[in-house]
Amino acid sequence: MVPGTDSLQFRDVHAVDSSTAYLLSAGSGDLSRIYKTSDGGRTWALQFQNTEPKAFFDCMAFWDSEHGVAFSDAVDGQFIIITTSDGTTWHRVPSKNVPAALPGEGGFAASGTCVTTVGDSTAWLGTGASEIARVLQTTDQGQTWSAQDTPIVSGDASGITSLLFRDDLNGMVAGGEISKPGEYSENVAITIDGGHTWRLVSHPQLPGAIYGIAAVPGAPIPTVVAVGPGGLDYSIDNGSSWVTLDTLDYWSVAFATPESGWAVGPKGRITKIRMF
C-alpha cells in the first residue's frame, strides 16, 4: 500500500519487472498523481502531482522502464499530455504539438488502457465525450501528436475507453455508451494501417460499454478479450464475432501468456483466465 493515499483512486499500473512499477491515481486537480516503486512495492516515491485544477489524468503507458506517457482530459480546449525520458521526471508536451481538443473531449479512466505503446517511439490514445471519438498518435515518444476520427459511438458519456495494437499497423479501439449499461452500440473498430483509418466491426455479446480490451500474447490464433460491466467476451477473428466467457461485472483485463490472464472487477474480484 502507498502510505497516505487512502482517498486516491488508482486506475492504472505498469510493472517493469519484479522490482519496478508505476501507479497512476486518477482525479481532479492534485488527486492525479504518479508513484514509482523500485523495491517491489515496499516503498513508493511520488514522481508527479498535477497542479492544473481542471485536469484529470486517465491513463499512462511506457515504451520501456524510463520512457513513458500519461494523458489528461482537455483543459480550456487543450489536451494535457506528459512524458518522461528518465523514469523519474515528467514534462508537459507543448500545446502547439498536440491537436486542439473538440468541445468536451477527454478520455475515460475506465481501465487504464486509453493509451498504448508499440516499439520504442509509437503510441496511440483514445478520446470521447464529444461529437467524435478520436485516436491521437505519436511516432516520436510523445513529442508531437496527430488525430484521426473513428466511427465509435460518441457523446457526453460515450467514446473510446480502451485500445490495443498488436504491431505498428493492426489495432483495435473499443468503448461505447457508459451511461447505457443494458444497450448495444457501435463500440468496436479496427485499423490495419497504423490508425490512419478505422472501420467498425461487430460489438461483443456483453451489453453496454466495453471498459477494457487486451490481446493475448503468444496465442496460436490472434485473440482479443473484452470486458465491461456486462461481462467478458473474446474474439479470434479481429472482432468479426465474439464468444461469451462470463457475465459477471469486470473493469479491466490483461494477459502475460495464453495461460495467464487476469480480469478484475468490483468487490475485489480477480478472475484468472486460461485461453488455450
When computed from its CA atoms, the radius of gyration of the chain, rounded to whole angstroms, is 17
- Give the distance from CA 108 to its chain's centroid: 8
Beta strands in 119-239 (DSSP E): 122-126, 134-138, 146-149, 158-165, 171-177, 188-191, 199-200, 212-215, 224-228, 231-235
| Per-residue pLDDT, 6 | 87
Cell of 43: 516503498
Q: How far apart are CA 268 and CA 242, in angstroms?
A: 26
| Per-residue pLDDT, 4 | 81
Cell of 272: 484468472
Phi, psi for 96 (deg, rounded to 5)? -65, -15
Note whether 224 and 233 are within 8 A (CB): no
Consecutive H or E run containing 224:
strand 224-228
- Give the distance from CA 227 to its chain's centroid: 13
Note whether 122 and 89 are within 8 A (CB): no
Cell of 215: 490481446
One digit per residue, the tens of pLDDT, for the chain of length 276 reads: 788 888 899 999 999 999 999 999 999 999 999 999 999 999 999 999 999 999 999 999 999 999 999 999 999 999 999 999 999 999 999 999 999 999 999 999 989 999 999 999 999 999 999 999 999 999 999 999 999 999 999 999 999 999 999 999 999 999 999 999 999 999 999 999 999 999 999 999 999 999 999 999 999 999 999 999 999 999 999 999 999 999 999 999 999 999 999 999 999 999 999 998
Q: How far apart are CA 106 and CA 54, in angstroms?
A: 12
Half-sphere exposure of 23 (CA within 13 A, CB side): 19
| Per-residue pLDDT, 3 | 80
Note whether 33 and 22 are within 8 A (CB): no
| Per-residue pLDDT, 110 | 86
CB neighbourhood size of 184 (10 A): 17
Residue among 162, 157, 117, 164 nearest 141 (CA) = 117
Residue with cell 451489453: 207
